[in-house]
Structure 1
Amino acid sequence: MSDILASIPLSAVRIFEAAARLKSFTRAADELGVSQAAVSWQVKALEQRLDQPLFTRLPREVTLTPAGERLS
């Protein structure tokens, strides 16, 4: 697992941190100055790389899954 974590781009880590802290891909995008689609794409790529969901997506917010909690 540490090999996988070492290969994660820093931009993906920043996006994950902001989305987890703000509980919103939209608010994370606003804070980071990128589009909501870019945040969603980076999170999806990170989830695929780790082979597990990190967020539960709700209509107006996201929450961390147990795997997301471990990563945070």
Structure 2
Amino acid sequence: MKFPGFALFEAWAVEKLIRSPTFNRTVHKAYRKINKLEPMEPENGLQRTGPSVLDHFKDEVRSQFRELTWQKRPPKQ
């Protein structure tokens, strides 16, 4: 015999799982693999064509560091 509270929790958990994009993506991939269908997504998973935000950030930090280290410092007295 199940408790009514557990049945409500189970229904809520199943609904959350079914609506989850990660779960749906996994089910679609498994279905396509089992039925030997072509994958719908590109191999790398994302369709980025240019540098990422992290790449821009790294370049900016490098350029600022170069400017800082190559500045002429006043002579010590």
Higher RCO, Cα 8 Å, sep 6+: 1
TM-score, normalising length: structure 1: 0.29
Larger radius of gyration, structure 1 or 2?
A: 2
Please identify which structure carries the higher strand content.
1
